[in-house]
Amino acid sequence: GQSLEQPSEVTAVEGAIVQINCTYQTSGFYGLSWYQQHDGGAPTFLSYNALDGLEETGRFSSFLSRSDSYGYLLLQELQMKDSASYFCAGDMDTGRRALTFGSGTRLQVQP
Amino acid sequence: ETGVTQTPRHLVMGMTNKKSLKCEQHLGHNAMYWYKQSAKKPLELMFVYNFKEQTENNSVPSRFSPECPNSSHLFLHLHTLQPEDSALYLCASSQGLAGGRDTGELFFGEGSRLTVL
């Protein structure tokens, strides 16, 4: 089957570092994406990992380990505006070429 | 002009009504999608169109009927819906069908919030 698991909520303070984990179960896998969604807004693309390792884009980094069926999104120097929901999404090898999303992690950044 | 535009933003309908959701993308993409977003649940893929042809129907009830007249427009026709169909319906587009940067990155609209009474 296809499923992606992530924590439902995470709380952190401004300036801190937070890691949002995503584990997946699937028989085949092309890559892992991360999307950010503010309340009332559209999900927006943050990053994509096709290969194992770390991808860095400014304050955000994403990591993938295929052998562990695991990835994470790392947010550094947290700002209040980072308060949002974060979704991991898998590009699965099921014959379907469309993303399967996790249920999302709501990040609350506190002063 | 935003990349993916959805109308209406909010819709309230009775169980016997017929309504339609509209999505338009100005990005020159080839693939368009409908996703359903309910509280505390993953975004649920409903339909995929690639070059105007439906490539995916994720076991969606027939009371939801998609239409894709061209690569820029996507509709979701609604009839005899149930209260549990109340949700945010998100349209998205991408250049290709993979999930990653430069090819399959999804660009979402802001959604149509549907309430079925």
Mean pLDDT over residues A77-90, rounded?
96
- A19-23, A44-48, A70-74, A98-102 — which is least confidently predicted? A98-102
pLDDT band at A29 (very low <50, low <70, confident <90, very high): confident
pLDDT at B112: 97
Residues of A within 8 A of B40 (CB-CB) are 8, 103
Is the pLDDT at B1 greater than 90? The verdict is no
pLDDT at A93: 65
How close B90 comes to chain A (CA, Å)?
A: 8
Please report where in the chains the tokens 């390792």 appear, as a residue: A53
pLDDT band at A95 (very low <50, low <70, confident <90, very high): low
pLDDT band at A8 (very low <50, low <70, confident <90, very high): very high
Q: Select from B33, B97, B99 the Cβ nearest to the Cβ of A48.
A: B99
Say what percent of chain B tops pLDDT 90.
Answer: 75
What whole-number distance in Å separates Cα of residue B8 and Cα of residue B23? 9
Q: Which candidate, B5, B1, B21, B25, places its Cα nearest to that of B94?
A: B25
Summarised one tens digit per residue, pLDDT across range A44-70 is 999 999 899 999 989 999 999 999 999
pLDDT at A42: 92
Can you give the length of chain B in residues?
Answer: 117
Residue A49: closest C-alpha in chain B? B100
Q: Is the dihedral of CA B88, B93, B96, B100 positive or negative?
A: negative
Residue A85: closest C-alpha in chain B? B40
N-terminal to C-terminal alpha carbon distance within chain A: 41
pLDDT at B116: 95
A33 touching chain B per CB within 8 A: yes
A54 touching chain B per CB within 8 A: no
Residues of A within 8 A of B41 (CB-CB) are 103
Q: Are B91 and B4 in contact (CB under 8 A)?
A: yes
pLDDT band at A30 (very low <50, low <70, confident <90, very high): confident
Mean pLDDT over residues A93-102, rounded?
74
Is the pLDDT at A97 greater than 70? The verdict is no
What whole-number distance in Å separates Cα of residue A63 and Cα of residue A74? 8
Across the interface, do B90 and A42 touch by the CB < 8 Å criterion?
yes
Q: Which candidate, A106, A29, A24, A35, places its Cα nearest to that of A70?
A: A24
pLDDT band at A3 (very low <50, low <70, confident <90, very high): confident
pLDDT band at B41 (very low <50, low <70, confident <90, very high): confident
Q: Select from B4, B41, B100 the Cβ nearest to the Cβ of A33.
A: B100
How close A86 comes to chain B (CA, Å)?
A: 11
How close B53 comes to chain A (CA, Å)?
A: 14
